[in-house]
């Protein structure tokens, strides 16, 4: 039977996050992502899950997806090439837009729920 409702737990649907490598290491300018994640849903270019990382900074060029993020722990600063900058911490929810060019600077351990559309 399909699940039509599911509580999103911070350690994923099975109680444990798995090591992943979603960040392109060629774009990392400092630190190490040390990523783990769990997916609650992934179908037709739409993904929902929980993701965590260590302290690192990466350069992002023309981000290919739209994403809603809800920060569970740690903080991240997004900064654009034109000088705009915003920092998000626990309890913050933000839209990380397609086309973003700039830097993702996570102070880990950082953990977020996400809902992404590619």
Written as one string, the DSSP assignment of 54-99 is -SEEEEESS---EEEEEEEEEEEEEEETTS-EEEE-TT-EEEE-TT
pLDDT classification of 5: cutoffs 50, 70, 90: confident
Is the pLDDT confidence value at 2 over 70? no
23-52 as b/e: b if 16+ CB within 10 A: beeeeeeebebebbbbebeeeeeebbbbbb
- Is 7 domain-assigned? no
| Single pTM value for the model | 0.92
- Is 6 domain-assigned? no
Is the pLDDT confidence value at 41 over 70? yes
- Is 92 domain-assigned? yes
Is residue 67 within 8 Å of residue 101, measured between CB atoms? no
Phi, psi (5° rounding) for residue 91? 95, -15
Is residue 104 within 8 Å of residue 60, measured between CB atoms? yes
Number of domains observed in the structure of the chain: 1
Q: How far apart are CA 115 and CA 87, in angstroms?
A: 19
- The CATH number for 35's domain is 2.60.120.10
Its domain, for residue 60, covers 19-117
Is residue 48 within 8 Å of residue 38, measured between CB atoms? no
- Is 89 domain-assigned? yes
Residue range 53-112, pLDDT digits in tens:
999 999 999 999 999 999 999 999 999 999 999 999 999 999 999 999 999 999 989 999
- Is 45 domain-assigned? yes
- Is 32 domain-assigned? yes
């Amino acid at each position: 039977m399909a699940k039509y409702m599911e509580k999103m737990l911070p350690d994923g649907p099975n109680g444990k996050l798995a090591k992943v490598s979603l960040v392109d290491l060629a774009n990392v300018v400092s630190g190490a992502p040390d990523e783990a994640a769990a997916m609650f849903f992934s179908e037709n270019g739409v993904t929902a899950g929980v993701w965590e990382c260590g302290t690192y900074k990466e350069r992002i060029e023309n981000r290919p997806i739209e994403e809603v993020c809800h920060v569970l722990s740690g903080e991240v600063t997004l900064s654009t090439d034109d000088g705009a900058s915003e920092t998000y911490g626990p309890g913050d929810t933000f839209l990380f837009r397609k086309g973003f060019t700039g830097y993702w600077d996570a102070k880990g351990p950082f953990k977020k729920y996400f809902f992404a559309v590619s």
